[in-house]
Homo-oligomer: A and B are copies of this chain.
Amino acid sequence: MKVEIISIGDEILIGRTINTNAAWIGEQLSLLGFFINRVTTISDTEEAITQSIKQAYTENNVVIITGGLGPTNDDITKLILCKLFDSPLSTHSEALKNIKKFVSSRGGEMNQLNKDQALFPEKADFIPNYSGTASGMWFSHENCIIISLPGVPHEMKDMMSDTIIPKLRKEFTLPVIVHEHILLSGIAEAKLAEIIAPWEDSLSDKIKLAYLPSPGIIKLRLTCITDSHEQAEKLISQAISDLKPYVQDHIYGYGLKNMEEIVGDMLRENEATISTAESCTGGNIAHILTLISGSSQYFKGGIVSYDNSIKINELHVPESTITSHGAVSKEVVEIMAQECRKKFNTTYAISTSGIAGPTGGTEKKRVGTVWIGIADSTNTYSYTFNFGNNRERVITRTSITALNLIRKLLINNKL
């Protein structure tokens, strides 16, 4: 079952926008068992769009097109598809309803451009868009399904997940593919590969392994292609129990949950609460914790003590401690964690202080040096790391590592 993804937009061709849409669609569809045959990015001209779609539907079973569905004059995908598949346009009542609802929810009023977006090809199946004004289209033509979606990533993703993927599952008989993700933290990719090499060599030939690294985290993806779900689940669970003896300590979870969700679930189950005192992470730990709906059950609040005066006035770090040990020190993060826990009256508190870079490093404390403090009712723990010289990655890796410490503390009751 061959798929081509066509991305429309000059901003992708000239590199202003990186084509994450195609990567996401490619991943989702290959996980379903489709073969991604080609990804084509083209300019938003009639000639390029027409030629590419024609070529794509003669060579593939499914063509997914993103982009060129906005309300403005440079958005011509819908008109081209109507021309190609000889379909008249008429106002689609559900499209119109969605657009009206969306526009009024933003406090806006319908204008002619919005009304024109409710015009829909009579020959296409309607794909609703609840978070934008451009509906999706599903055409069948010469044994190929041609799907057109907006290029705005969150709109495209919602429409793929809610409608397109279930509809494709019904349309095609796909092989049984089961994926499982093993989530690891606190180990570098090359080191991990070295340690688990014997396990990798012993894996069933029905299982494919992929390393998916991101700052502070490595996901191992196991993909099993077999005849039955039952056999796949069995092979995967065997592979996981064989892996554990090698890296037990680094596994923090399974599946597609992220660290903040896993820690959040554990805090909720333990009826525990948490607060944060952040210097180098600048509010990012609070931010990722509160990205999760329902986090108010366990996250009470935090302080971003960026300036030393805030560490002194709000977290009662003695000025002399900062002078003698530096703001990036064991002594400072321990007081920050203790005082934060008291201030916000929580079960646990996290503190961070570090040199996120790219400037501010010294010979003794290089860029990337980070101290993390953790306080509970009886103990205060502190650890130092070097997380490299990229500011954003230092912030992310510090945040993930701090949450992983809380996870370990929740499991073992000590660090």
C-beta contact mask, A314-349 vs B, less than 8 Å → 1, else 0? 100000000000000000000000000001110000
CB-CB under 8 A from A359, the residues of chain B are: 293-294
Query: Which of A103, A106, A209: most chain B Cβ within 10 A?
Result: A106
User: A283 touching B302 by the CB < 8 A rule?
Assistant: yes
Check if A27 is an interface residue, CB within 8 A of chain B.
yes
User: B38 touching A40 by the CB < 8 A rule?
Assistant: yes
A interface majority secondary structure: mixed
User: B41 touching A13 by the CB < 8 A rule?
Assistant: no
C-beta contact mask, A23-44 vs B, less than 8 Å → 1, else 0? 1111110100000111111110
Which B residue sits closest to A282, measured CB to CB?
A: B290
Check if A358 is an interface residue, CB within 8 A of chain B.
yes
Check if A307 is an interface residue, CB within 8 A of chain B.
yes
With A36-B14, A114-B190, A290-B283 as given contacts, are A388 and B105 in contact (CB-CB < 8 Å)? yes
With A23-B12, A37-B48 as given contacts, are A286 and B290 in contact (CB-CB < 8 Å)? no
C-beta contact mask, A255-269 vs B, less than 8 Å → 1, else 0? 000000000000000
With A71-B190, A388-B106, A392-B291 as given contacts, are A48 and B42 in contact (CB-CB < 8 Å)? no
Q: How large is the interface on A (under 10, 10 to 19, 20 to 34, 35 or more residues)?
A: 35 or more
Question: How many copies of this chain are found per oligomer?
Answer: 2
CB-CB under 8 A from A120, the residues of chain B are: none
User: B310 touching A306 by the CB < 8 A rule?
Assistant: no
Q: How far is the CA of A102 from the CA of B366 in the complex (A)?
A: 14
C-beta contact mask, A353-394 vs B, less than 8 Å → 1, else 0? 000111100000000100000000000000000101111110
Check if A350 is an interface residue, CB within 8 A of chain B.
no
In the complex, chain A residues 277-294 whose Cβ is within 8 Å of any chain B Cβ: 278, 281-287, 289-291, 293-294
Check if A305 is an interface residue, CB within 8 A of chain B.
yes
User: B111 touching A190 by the CB < 8 A rule?
Assistant: yes
CB-CB under 8 A from A208, the residues of chain B are: 10
Query: Which of A28, A131, A210: most chain B Cβ within 10 A?
Result: A210
Q: How far is the CA of A314 from the CA of B153 in the complex (A)?
A: 39
Write 20 A-B pairs (CB below 8 A) sorted by A numbering. Answer: A15-B22, A16-B212, A19-B23, A37-B48, A38-B40, A38-B42, A38-B52, A71-B190, A72-B193, A105-B389, A111-B191, A112-B194, A114-B190, A131-B388, A133-B190, A283-B285, A283-B287, A293-B357, A293-B391, A300-B306
Give 6 A-B pairs besides A111-B194, A278-B283, A299-B306 with Cβ atoms closer than 8 angstroms: A13-B38, A14-B27, A14-B179, A15-B22, A114-B190, A152-B213
Listed from nearest, the 3 A-B pairs whose CB atoms lie closest are A282-B290, A15-B27, A283-B286
